[in-house]
Amino acid sequence: MLIDTYGRVATDLRVSLTDKCNLRCTYCMPEEGLQWLSKPDLLTDDEIVRLIGIAVTRLGITEVRFTGGEPLLRPGLVGIVERAAALAPRPRMSLTTNGIGLRRTAAALKAAGLDRVNVSLDTLRPEVFKTLTRRDRHHDVVAGLEAAHDAGLTPVKVNTVLMPGLNEDEAPDLLAWAVAHDYELRFIEQMPLDAQHGWKREGMVTAGDILDSLRTRFTLTEEGAGERGSAPAERWLVDGGPHRVGVIASVTRPFCAACDRTRLTADGQIRTCLFATEETDLRAALRSEAPDEEIARIWRLAMWGKKAGSGLDDPSFLQPERPMSAIGG
């Protein structure tokens, strides 16, 4: 079991498979990209599968989410999913992706054992997408979403970040589109995850702003805390259901008290929080041939020291040094 001093138990493992990405989203990284991790620093496929196995069989992990960077850029992704699906007990598995490569991989991922996907899409306007991501790939993301739905990677969730002056007016249109295509839309408050440290709390589109905008066109009925559990998204029924919309208010309505996550970076570090400034090295233990129980002990100790909150609700919050692409969303 991965328990901390506040009594929270981690059952959800986020696994970053690579720090690389084929987009250059303005809220994540500079146009020229970043200094990528060298291949020797990255965990191998075997090392990733071994750590997932330790987490599932020894530490109580029941959910595994593959992230990046962009996880579809990992050559061994399908094999990693297939091997993780063979574990007993079998974890539920999902993938967070920008969707560009989903059209060609969705069916293979489903066959390997992946349960569902989260796809990032911030706009319905191709020209705004190009401005936000610095790439002209909007059509590829839309096609990837369709392929994921057709492959049965459901519910297909769409993650959207609204940015002032760019797409903040699109919330109702995005929700209408998601309902029409049977996707579950989740708006995420912009978080301080950019390598340029350009994030500012002032002027950000808040959860309150998003809900006010949606209510100009839809009737929203809150599901309530009982339905939410430890999920980061507050959810509302849209016009009485069955469709839902979620809002992840990491900045204005932190949900740290119910957090059940532990994070493994692409280079084998354990992070207790997306915004943690400390890491615990599992790669060194792996490569020194430490037994599974020793690795599990190191992992338990790391999680025991998890802090009460992310600090995002503190106006003096300092951004973490590592960008999101190196940590995993």
261 is in an annotated binding site: yes
283 is in an annotated binding site: no
221 is in an annotated binding site: no
131 is in an annotated binding site: no
Q: How many CA atoms lie within 13 A of 203 on its CB side?
A: 7
262 is in an annotated binding site: yes
27 is in an annotated binding site: yes
Burial of 135 (0-12, 13-18, 19+ CB in 10 A): middle
Taking CA atoms, 66 is separated from 49, 96, 222, in Å, by 12, 6, 29
216 is in an annotated binding site: no
21 is in an annotated binding site: yes
Q: How far apart are CA 290 and CA 173, in angstroms?
A: 53
SS3 196: coil
Instruction: Check if the beta carbon of residue 18 is closer than 8 Å to that of residue 73.
Output: yes
191 is in an annotated binding site: yes
306 is in an annotated binding site: no
Instruction: Check if the beta carbon of residue 144 is closer than 8 Å to that of residue 96.
Output: no
Q: How far apart are CA 263 and CA 64, in angstroms?
A: 10
94 is in an annotated binding site: no
Taking CA atoms, 62 is separated from 32, 84, 91, 282, 328, in Å, by 38, 11, 5, 20, 18
Known binding-site positions for [4Fe-4S] cluster: 21, 25, 28, 256, 259, 273
Known binding-site positions: 14, 21, 25, 27-28, 65, 69, 96, 120, 157, 191, 256, 259, 261-263, 273
Known binding-site positions for S-adenosyl-L-methionine: 27, 69, 120, 191
Known binding-site positions for GTP: 14, 65, 96, 157, 261-263
